[in-house]
Amino acid sequence: MSEQIKTDICVIGAGSGGLTVAAAAAAFGEDVVLLEKGQMGGDCLNTGCVPSKALIAAAHHAENMRQANLFGISSVEPRVDFQAVHDHVHSVIGAIAPNDSVERFEGLGVRVIQQAGHFTDKRTVATADGQYEIKARSFVIATGSSAAVPPVEGIERIPYFTNETIFSLTKRPRHLVIIGGGPIGVELAQAHRRLGAEVTILEAYGILSREDPELSSVVIDQLKREGITLHEGVTIDRIEPAEDKDATPYGATLHFSHTLDGGVAGDADFVEATHVLVATGRRANVSDLGLEAAGVSYSERGIAVKPTMKTSNRRVYAIGDVAGGMQFTHVAGYHAGLVVRNILFKLGAKENTHIVPRVTFTAPELAHVGYSEAEARQKFRQVRILRWPFGENDRAQAERETAGFIKIITNKKGVVLGASVVGKNAGEIINMWALIVSQKMNIKAITGYVSPYPTLSEVGRRAAISAYADLPSKPGIRKIISFLKFLG
């Protein structure tokens, strides 16, 4: 006989989205039950953002040692102890884990059940072990996503890696071949290259193809300079396991062809990998949730939600990666905030995807918020583009980080529609522009604040000032100055 629980809110999934809903709702005195079938903290903490950024930080230190001669210090080729790098990555996870732990959440008053949950009807969730049946006034599905594995012939015969397994390597891969040149592919390609691995990316279309090519080309040039082999526009025809399994237990040969115009296969080629990482996008975790029983509509992309994050069942919300939109930790957190407002205060708060920034943590970093130039040109009759290069920034010069620029898109009245930054600390610089876009601020406001010198963020203010570059030579302005002079 299972225990019957009645609660205000039942959250399924204790990742970035689910934890935020649980903590906020409990703080307002709601009864919350939180179900988690795996590790508390979900993808971001255990197999996503945190380990990838910790690995990138290690790789950054290795690269700094190679580049030290630029600063008058002898460059050295670093000796990388991959087991120690692995331990660093996992100690960072360990340092953050208490924030997401069962103990912390129980301390906040949340009832945590470490079991998978599934709907048995429109108002009931049961746990996989059959011990609990939960009836709630509202349900929040926050079950995230998993690596989507492409249907390539032979892939099932090789022990490929995904984000769930790559961070457990304790020996450096000799030749890492990455399938997919999106954010996961490029971040992990550069990190492994800097840590001394040979790295190849096989990408079906273009590297970072969702980004403005004017900016992504700066990142791509750097990846090539660092010795990463990029094959864009390829079709992987088949994969074979390595012949010598003792020498390369994870090895494989990947046969591919360059796709020509019209999608026709061109010249055939192959690459031999000691390790293969699949980074070809994500699949929403919707199976085994009993969504049919709950009357919740979904597709391959994920659970269908309205802008309020409500599903086709008015008691059930879906947030984060499983909702099939943008897949970022800050989006899951943003969704969580909307859902808490909508469940507790019936505010009908709606998602505004326009204000959501994104950052790819390569070196240089690539960050964006709002409309891209191409989107703005489609939507508005007149747009203005402002740019400022890192090469014209004193701090960037001092740090020898002159690759990159900021690009700001405004409408004809000067309202900021979007901003993109490629360069050192682009992810920090974009914060201010995310605020500017969310508040629909005018570029004039950015000329009027004082930016501390010397900082990289000054590139934004200089780009804004460039909007008024022709002001001193305007006859009207000259006349006003002469008139004021005449007055004494």
Ligand X SMILES: NC(=O)c1ccc[n+]([C@@H]2O[C@H](COP(=O)([O-])OP(=O)(O)OC[C@H]3O[C@@H](n4cnc5c(N)ncnc54)[C@H](O)[C@@H]3O)[C@@H](O)[C@H]2O)c1
Ligand Y SMILES: Cc1cc2nc3c(=O)[nH]c(=O)nc-3n(C[C@H](O)[C@H](O)[C@H](O)COP(=O)(O)OP(=O)(O)OC[C@H]3O[C@@H](n4cnc5c(N)ncnc54)[C@H](O)[C@@H]3O)c2cc1C
User: Known binding site for FAD: residues?
Assistant: 53, 117, 143-145, 321
416 three-class SS: strand
Taken in order 136, 140, 144, 150, the sign of the CA dihedral is positive
* Closer of 49 and 242 to ligand Y (Cβ): 49
- Residues 345-374, interacting with ligand Y (CB under 6 A): 361
Q: Report which residue's Cβ sits closest to ligand X.
A: 182
Before 364, cis peptide (omega within 30)? Answer: yes
Q: Which is nearer to ligand Y, 125 or 383 (CB)?
A: 125
Which partner, ligand X, ligand Y, none, binds residue 424 by CB below 5 to 8 Å per kind? none
CA–CA dist 247, 243 (Å, integer): 9
CA diameter of the chain = 95
144 binds, among ligand X, ligand Y, none (CB under 5 to 8 A by kind): ligand Y
The string of DSSP codes covering 196-234 is T-EEEEEESS-TTTTS-HHHHHHHHHHHHHTT-EEEESE
Does residue 34 interact with ligand Y by CB under 6 A? no
Q: Would you state the structure tokens that stand for residue 432, as one six-digit string?
A: 């201010």
Work out which of 7, 10, 15, 460 binds ligand Y, going by CB under 6 A. Answer: 15
Work out how close the CB of 202 gets to ligand X at its nearest, in angstroms, rounded to a whole number: 5
Neighbours of 486 (CB within 10 A): 7
Task: Select from 13-21, 102-110, 198-206, 434-442 the region that touches ligand Y (CB under 6 A).
Answer: 13-21
The residue with its CB nearest to ligand Y is 15
Report whether 194 contacts 226 (CB < 8 A).
yes
Asked if 90 is part of the footprint of ligand Y (rule: CB under 6 A), the reply reads no
Q: Which residues contribute to the site for ligand X (CB under 6 A)? A: 150, 152, 179-185, 187, 202-205, 209, 236, 279-282, 327-328, 358-361
Q: Does 14 bind ligand Y (CB under 6 A)?
A: yes
CB of 61 to ligand X, least distance (A): 19
Question: Quick one: which of 7, 138, 285, 311 contacts ligand Y (CB under 6 A)?
Answer: 285
- Type of residue found at 69: N
DSSP secondary structure letters along 35-61: E-SS-TTHHHHHHSHHHHHHHHHHHHH
CA 69 to chain centre: 33
Binding ligand Y (rule: CB under 6 A), the pick from 190, 280, 329, 342 is 329
Partner that binds at residue 185, options ligand X, ligand Y, none, CB closer than 5 to 8 Å by kind: ligand X
Answer yes or no whether residue 117 interacts with ligand Y by CB under 6 A. yes
Which of ligand X, ligand Y, none binds 209 (CB below 5-8 Å, type-dependent)? Answer: ligand X
| Straight-line distance from the first to the last Cα atom of the chain, in angstroms, rounded to the nearest whole number | 94
Give whichever of 161 and 388 is closer to ligand X, judged by the CB atom.
161
Closest to ligand X by CB, 100 or 365: 365
Tell me if 296 contacts ligand Y by CB under 6 A. no
455: Cβ–Cβ under 8 A, 6 or more apart, which residues?
395
Closest CA to 285 of 150, 162, 145: 145
Q: Which of ligand X, ligand Y, none has residue 425 at its interface (CB below 5 to 8 Å by kind)? A: none
Pick from 7, 12, 22: nearest CA to 333: 22
CA 216 to chain centre: 15
Element (H, E) at 110: none
Helix H or strand E encompassing 319: none
User: Identity (one letter) of the amino acid at 304?
Assistant: A
Coil, strand or helix: which one is 432? helix
Under DSSP, the state recorded for 324 is S
Q: Which is nearer to ligand X, 124 or 285 (CB)?
A: 285
Of the residues 36, 100, 203, 458, which one makes contact with ligand Y according to CB under 6 A: 36
Answer with the entry of ligand X, ligand Y, none that 414 interacts with (C-beta below 5 to 8 A by kind).
none
234 exposure class (CB count in 10 Å sphere: 0-12, 13-18, 19+): buried
The distance of closest approach from Cβ of residue 17 to ligand Y in the complex, given in angstroms and rounded to an integer, is 3
Residue selected from 144, 180, 181, 324 as contacting ligand Y according to rule CB under 6 A: 144
* Residue 289 contacts ligand Y per CB under 6 A: yes
Q: Does 414 bind ligand Y (CB under 6 A)?
A: no
Tell me which of ligand X, ligand Y, none is bound by residue 419, counting a contact when its beta carbon lies within the kind-specific cut-off of 5 to 8 angstroms.
Answer: none
4: left (phi over 0), alpha (psi -120 to 50) or beta: beta
Q: Does 330 bind ligand Y (CB under 6 A)?
A: yes
Binding-site residues from annotation: 53, 117, 143-145, 180-187, 203, 281, 321
Query: By CB under 6 A, what part of segment 163-182 binds ligand Y?
Result: 163
Q: Hey, what are 430's tokens?
A: 């974009």
Q: How far apart are CA 381 and CA 413, in angstroms?
A: 12
- Considering only residues 37, 174, 354, 395, which one is a binding residue for ligand Y as defined by CB under 6 A? 37
Residue 324 lies near ligand Y (rule: CB under 6 A)? no
Q: What does the binding site for ligand Y look like in residue numbers (CB under 6 A)?
A: 12-18, 35-38, 42-44, 48-49, 52, 116-117, 142-144, 163, 184, 285, 288-289, 320-322, 327-330, 332, 361
